Structure 1
Amino acid sequence: MIQVNHTQIPEKDILAEMQYHPAQSQRDAMLKSAESLIIAELLRQRAKTLGLDIANDGAATSQDDFLEQLLAQEVDIPTASADECEQYYRLNPGRFESSPLVEVSHILLAAAPEDDKARVEAKTLSEALISQLQQGASLAELAKHYSACPSKETGGSLGQINRGQTVPEFERQLFSAEPGLLPHAIESRYGFHVVLIARKVPGQLLPFKAVQQKIAEYLNEKVRRKAVAQYIHTLIVEAEIAGYDFKLSASPLMQ
């Protein structure tokens, strides 16, 4: 039985709450549910102490409603200054680059992920086609004959690609490669791709003014999450909780 400042949290409520906390085991889900309900009860009790008008109808519906009121009244959450945003921009330039562009042609040798035989055959064929290309064969002609991609009608050309336009497993290798014929096929969920990179344009650092607002939003949200965690930590430390042992250092709330 769990009690929060002498207020009981019934087991049935914990079991009902478990549907909102998927976990690797039933025990983990139950612990997460109990923690969530304890925190919700602490917030309700504190709100009541402060005279806030709180509907006591469960964590899922009430906690979000009045948490902002509690924070506004009890927590000082600073906002990021322009200097702080600019410092973050200078220290993290890789986060503010435009996507590189690659001009690509390919031959798709289709093979379903679960078809081991087809994938082995596709890989073997890709090696043979790469060998032919290295000896001067035309990718456009080979694409027309072998490729399962509609791009075979345009010589295998995919045009200019930037990040987010293709599947991740294809992009990871594509954007890390240098221009020219790749010596090995790229494997994806669709099969094996024989790839020729005609041109690669590196990403460019975006101007600070273009990303300042996003940086401010990110930093403000980071500070807000920390403030909420510290506030809840304080409520837990000051509360009398029976039937549940908070390991605060390991709690996701304290991250």
Structure 2
Amino acid sequence: MPVIVNGVELNDADLERELPLHADARNPMRHAITALVLRRVLLDEAARQGLDAADEETAIGALLAAQAPAPQADEAACRRFYQMHPQRFMVGELVEADHILFQVTPDVNLDMLRGHANVVLAELLEDPSRFAEVAREQSNCPSAAVGGSLGQLGRGDTVPEFERAVFALPSGGLLPQLLQTRHGLHIVRVTRHIEGKMLPFEHVEQQIAMALSSMSRDTAWRQYTKLLVGRADVQGIDLEDAEPERVFGGSA
């Protein structure tokens, strides 16, 4: 079914140029078509308002600047963000962690694996001194060779779900339940937690202001684009979940 925007059908040449920009998306074709539709809607509105420009990006930029301006983050807003998200501005925080990995593979019976892992965890909660021995016997990670030791970890060194768990544990802490990540099921302990320190607000104020302003801008663009799409005659695709940043090939 062809996609038609305000009476104009999207052409194959435009789609071929747009598609590579969305190769990493879950559904590249849908993302590419969505981007072209949103772009067409914005260009039509820019033309309706008489916004002449040398190129399409400039025309869209002028339209969004005029019709969807976003307020700049002030110092008070930046301070609130800084105080509400202290972990984002910590430096020097480290943990020394060990784990036992029960890897989940396509042919594994997850219920049986979880049951076995829970038995091993219960035994270690009774006698944590056997952690290294059990890791050598049970873990599916190369770290098994060194008793499950992952060494020192900083923020960003592991997948987010693992990071949240280990950085929440105190020194000597053994997580009392299994941790599930994209890699499998883990028994986790932290042998040492080195506290970091927060960067002074003055060192990160500009960074915070840029991030908040970007979020505000994206929200304003999303709301405005949704309004324009609601007014447009779009056939052949449902744009209920359309994201305006896709107009610029995936980056606003």
TM-score of the superposed pair, with normalisation by structure 2: 0.63
Whether the aligned pair in 1 keeps the contact of 2:38 and 2:225 (CA below 8 Å) is: no
Q: 2:139 matched to 1:160? A: no
Q: 2:28 matched to 1:53? A: no
Larger Rg belongs to: 1
- Are residues 120 and 41 of structure 1, via their aligned partners in 2, closer, same or farther at CA, if it must alter by over 3 Å? same
Q: 2:116 matched to 1:124? A: yes
**TM-aligned CA deviation for residue 161 of structure 1:** 1.9
Which position in structure 2 is the counterpart of 1:146? Answer: 138
**TM-aligned CA deviation for residue 27 of structure 1:** 11
Residues 176-223 of structure 1: CA deviation (Å, up to 9, x unaligned): 444422333323343332222223345543311221121121233244
Whether the aligned pair in 2 keeps the contact of 1:106 and 1:196 (CA below 8 Å) is: yes
Which position in structure 1 is the counterpart of 2:8? Answer: 9
Whether the aligned pair in 1 keeps the contact of 2:68 and 2:220 (CA below 8 Å) is: yes
Q: 5+ unaligned residues in a row in structure 1: which ranges?
A: 55-61, 245-249
**TM-aligned CA deviation for residue 40 of structure 1:** 1.9
- Are residues 50 and 168 of structure 1, via their aligned partners in 2, closer, same or farther at CA, if it must alter by over 3 Å? closer
- Larger relative contact order (C-alpha < 8 A, sep ≥ 6)? 2
**Same amino acid, percent of matched pairs:** 30
Whether the aligned pair in 2 keeps the contact of 1:186 and 1:193 (CA below 8 Å) is: yes
**TM-aligned CA deviation for residue 133 of structure 1:** 5.8
TM-score of the superposed pair, with normalisation by structure 1: 0.62
What is the number of residues matched between the two proteins? Answer: 233
Provide the aligned C-alpha RMSD in A: 4.7
Which amino acid is the alignment partner of residue 37 of structure 1?
Answer: R
Q: 5+ unaligned residues in a row in structure 2: which ranges?
A: 236-240, 245-252
Whether the aligned pair in 2 keeps the contact of 1:181 and 1:196 (CA below 8 Å) is: yes
Matched ranges for 1:1-255 at <5 A: 8-10=7-9, 34=37, 36-46=39-49, 49-54=50-55, 62=56, 64-70=57-63, 79-82=72-75, 84-90=77-83, 92-94=84-86, 96-98=88-90, 100-109=93-102, 111-117=103-109, 120-121=112-113, 123-125=115-117, 127-128=119-120, 130-132=122-124, 134-135=126-127, 137-178=129-170, 179-202=172-195, 204-225=197-218, 228=221
- Are residues 9 and 204 of structure 1, via their aligned partners in 2, closer, same or farther at CA, if it must alter by over 3 Å? same
Residues 114-151 of structure 1: CA deviation (Å, up to 9, x unaligned): 23337624641552364156236432222233333222
**Using the alignment, how far apart are the partners of 2:52 and 2:30 within structure 1?**
36
